[in-house]
Chain A
Amino acid sequence: MQEKNVPLIQTIDLRKLFKLKGGVMLHAVDGINIEIASGETLGVVGESGCGKSTVGRLILRLIEPTSGQVLYDGQDISKFRGRQARDMRRNMQIIFQDPYSSIDPRMSVIELIAEYLFIHRVFKNKIETFNRAAELMDMVGLARRYANSYPHELDGGRRQRIGIARALSLDPKFIICDEPVSALDVSIQAQILNLLMDLQEEFKLTYMFVTHDLSVVKHISDKIMVMYLGQCVEIAAFDELFENPLHPYTNALLAAIPEPDLSRRNKEMKVIRGEVVSPINVKPGCRFAARCDDCVETCRERDPELIETSNGHFVACFKLKR
């Protein structure tokens, strides 16, 4: 049914502008083009406020884009209404960052997992629905004895498993993982990451993995996109990005990770100056220019475009042309 070269998820020039008080425009997402092939994982990395979570919500249409298109399997879903839009929800799901605020504290575990099944009336009766929910519990490694527990009785890792089971309940093909492990402790984080990878393999899932943590994203992604203030600055295969980072911001991100390794200890950590600002009323020019050491005249005049430097490695930086 699916042609080989049609990506499962594609966005074309996706934009979201928020209007703030005083008519100021916040460019949360500014012209994002991504393609995710079926069964692949795209990692999206960036610091807070770079618009990485907004991209995910735009794709799911939890927020309506200002302009641009989202294609699912070649179809433009941004115009879908009513029934069509609701059916689309079954194909695309999201796992949230915070296992505490993303599940309703007044519902029991089994009710939480069965919620989407009830919404879409997947099964005829309650018993079948709950049986399916119990299967989902097995799938994500939640013991069935927790079926009647309430979320406050469970720890963060188990709560996150509820979120994963709920996201899987409608057999989606595409799941957005919005920082699913950043609220968890390392030992639990590894458990959840392994689970996500196993599920992907078993059900041929396609992921978009949004995170601020480069070391996590490397483990799970095929391709990685680095975002800065609403724009994509670099996108490449995961190994290429780590071995050959080209954009100064990617380099800075990599250098800023404190590694659990004593050999780097006495070297001064390389630090970029300045702060992440908000993309409010942006002027033309590279958004990273103010913090960049290699910034030249052109950087402040024109927007750099994404240029393919080698196979599948795109960078938006003037430095490379010089």
Chain B
Amino acid sequence: MLENNGGILLNIEDLKVVYKTDLETVEAVNGISLTVMKGRTLGLVGETGAGKTTTALSILRLLPSTTGRIERGKIEFNGQDLLKLDENMMRVIRGNQIAMVFQDPMTSLNPVMTVGDQIAEAIELHNGKMPHEEVNRRVENILQMVGIMPQRRFEYPHQFSGGMKQRVVIAIALSCEPELLIADEPTTALDVTIQAQVLNMIKDLRDRLGTAMLLITHDLGIVAQICDDVAVMYAGEIIETGTVEDIFIGDWRHPYTAGLFNSLPDLRSQATRLKPIPGLMPDPSNLPNGCVFAPRCGNRMDICEKEHPKTVQKAQHRLSCHLYATGENPRRRDVT
């Protein structure tokens, strides 16, 4: 599956993450594999509790230390297994090579430091000592890059609106020109018109800097506008992955992905009733034996409840579903 511009940047193989409390063990991420190519954007799509954020935190090794544990798997970044690095080396990777933007811009910034100082801090932290003028020049450049007037660097976060704060957070993330930017629902907290502004900016910067991106979102609209590749997550597993074309217009489609598309209220069509996926995502502390989606699936067969489906592949398009086990296009019942 190596149609690319420059090879593999991040490669996750068979990653399994559990959260252990004294009451139960939650299998948050269950043997996923995914690849982010250099310079490309992978959209990680899924509902609340699918394990998207856990995956992101595992890459940076920022799981809550008391409960979260990586049970097995490999996370290779530029060929180096991040799970084998010690904490000091990991700190160099974080921010320098992999940066992360969180959902809530309100809590990601320090309220008692000026915005300029926070960006300067990030630059100095990762580049070591440099002359004051050089830092200042860089801060101004970065602010300009994310569309904030450089004069505003002396202001405090509370003087910025939500959209502007998220721009600052992104500026900090990009200040060290990371190779990979992990963005966890970066625009979910923003209004639509502001979301459009920020998305345009992200797109623009990504293209200009050539940064690869792992974009976590629940919004298929954002995926369609921004991502090159898509991985659909459900109950801790990646059930389908491929290029956007594969997922949006391809002739193979996992029933869950199809269900997601059907649940969306369509701006263009006129249907009054929506077609939701029945039921709920399984409890991650008590996953079903066979296919994790089987209990909600309209195409359920006997085998689905017994056996975990194998991954089938066509070009870069991979999915795990018994319907496609033969590699042929099956007849599906509920898919438009």
Contact = CB atoms under 8 A, between A and B. Distances in A.
A216 B163 CA distance: 23
What is the interface of chain A mostly: helix, strand, loop, or mixed?
A: helix
A294 B262 CA distance: 38
A258 B192 CA distance: 9
Interface string A194-230: 1001000000000000001011101100000000000
Chain B CB within 10 Å, residue with most, of A197, A239, A259, A272: A259
B245 A262 contact: yes
Nearest to B47: A185
A261 B224 contact: yes
Interface string A256-296: 11111110110011111101100000000000000000000
A193 B274 contact: yes
B104 to A, nearest CB: 14
B295 to A, nearest CB: 13
A256 B198 CA distance: 11
A215 B244 contact: no
A261 B244 CA distance: 10
B200 interface: yes
Interface stretch (B20-28, B178-186, B213-221): B213-221
Contacts of B262: 190
Nearest to B189: A48
Contacts of A258: 195-196, 199, 219, 221-222, 224-225
A187 B277 contact: yes
A197 B271 CA distance: 12
B273 A194 contact: yes
Nearest to A184: B48
A271 B273 contact: no
A242 B268 CA distance: 9
Contact of B192 (A185, A219, A253): A253
A63 interface: no
A187 B224 contact: no
B207 to A, nearest CB: 12
B260 interface: yes
B267 A218 contact: yes
Chain A CB within 10 Å, residue with most, of B196, B260, B262, B265: B265
Interface in A142-173: 155-157
Contacts of A262: 224, 244-245, 248-249
B82 interface: no
Contacts of A272: 193
A17 interface: no
B267 A265 contact: no
Contacts of A219: 265, 272, 274
Nearest to B217: A258
A260 to B, nearest CB: 4
A188 interface: yes
Given A187-B276, A259-B221, A271 B193 contact: yes
Interface size class of B (residues with CB under 8 A): 35 or more
B195 A256 contact: yes
Interface in B133-148: none
B161 interface: yes
Given A219-B272, A262-B224, A256 B265 contact: no
A190 B196 contact: no
A85 interface: no
B194 interface: yes
Contacts of A255: 196
Interface in B141-185: 161, 163-164
Interface string B237-268: 00000001100110000000001111111110
B48 A269 contact: no
A185 B45 CA distance: 12
B220 A260 contact: yes
A253 B193 contact: yes
B280 A157 contact: yes
Nearest to B204: A268
Contact of B164 (A252, A257, A275): A275
Contact of B248 (A191, A197, A260): A260
A48 B191 contact: yes
A264 B193 contact: no
A262 B43 CA distance: 14
B315 to A, nearest CB: 17
B98 interface: no
Chain A CB within 10 Å, residue with most, of B164, B219, B224, B274: B274
Contacts of A276: 161, 191, 193-194
A17 B225 CA distance: 40
A150 B191 CA distance: 33
Given A156-B48, A212-B191, A259-B267, A188 B224 contact: no
B276 A190 contact: yes
A252 B197 CA distance: 11
B176 to A, nearest CB: 27
B192 A187 contact: no
A257 B267 contact: yes
A218 B249 CA distance: 25
A103 to B, nearest CB: 18
A269 B191 contact: no
A91 interface: no
19 contacts: A155-B280, A185-B48, A185-B218, A187-B259, A187-B260, A197-B272, A197-B273, A215-B264, A215-B266, A257-B221, A257-B267, A258-B199, A258-B221, A258-B224, A260-B224, A265-B225, A275-B161, A275-B163, A275-B164
Given A156-B48, A186-B260, A261-B221, 18 more contacts: A187-B47, A187-B260, A190-B277, A194-B274, A197-B272, A253-B192, A256-B195, A256-B196, A258-B221, A258-B222, A258-B225, A259-B225, A260-B220, A260-B221, A260-B264, A261-B248, A269-B225, A271-B193
Closest 9 CB pairs of A and B: A258-B221, A190-B276, A256-B196, A47-B191, A260-B220, A190-B274, A185-B47, A190-B263, A187-B277
Interface of A: 47-48, 155-157, 185-191, 193-194, 197, 212, 214-216, 218-219, 239, 242, 252-262, 264-265, 268-273, 275-276
